[in-house]
Amino acid sequence: AALTWGTITCMLRLSILPATVAFVYRPVAEVAAWYVVFLLAPSVFLIWIVVTRRTNLVWYLLWGWAFFLVPLLAMGSVATKEGMWPLWWRIYRNLFSEDNWPNSLAEFTLSDVVISDMFFMIL
């Protein structure tokens, strides 16, 4: 329960930055609507996972890659007036090109593993 609460409260606090950037870049209602989806969908889905005691890693991957990432990228897609697939492809190329993949792997390890583990250790 503490881990779920920590995840949801961090999501609410840290997610305002990309939403604000997207809205300032292109102030349209669709960005605000995707932000609401971004706040509600992963929160409700994560609570459902915990309440129904789903322990398979697939549920958490679905939470992270579908319920969290898709609305976040949708905000970026609306703000940049770029389709979702071209945006996904551009991100993929930038992160995993032959020159960039070692840096991407190192940054992911640092941000996702080390920082999140340190955060959850203080709960």
Rounded to the nearest 10 degrees, what angle do helices 29-51 and 69-80 cross at?
170
Give this prediction's pTM. 0.69
User: Within this chain, do residues 77 and 90 fall inside the same structural domain, yes or no?
Assistant: no
The pLDDT assigned to 28 comes to 92
User: Within this chain, do residues 43 and 96 fall inside the same structural domain, yes or no?
Assistant: no
User: Within this chain, do residues 7 and 58 fall inside the same structural domain, yes or no?
Assistant: yes
Look at residue 2 and tell me whether its pLDDT is greater than 70: no
User: Within this chain, do residues 69 and 102 fall inside the same structural domain, yes or no?
Assistant: no
Boundaries of domain holding 104: 83-123
User: Within this chain, do residues 62 and 36 fall inside the same structural domain, yes or no?
Assistant: yes
User: Within this chain, do residues 88 and 54 fall inside the same structural domain, yes or no?
Assistant: no
Write the CA distances from 41 to 67, 77, 104, 121, integer angstroms.
6, 18, 27, 26
pLDDT digits (tens, 9 = 90+) for 61-114: 888 888 888 998 999 899 999 999 999 999 888 888 888 888 888 877 776 666
Number of domains in the chain: 2
Query: Could you tell me the pLDDT band of residue 14, with boundaries at 50, 70 and 90?
Result: low
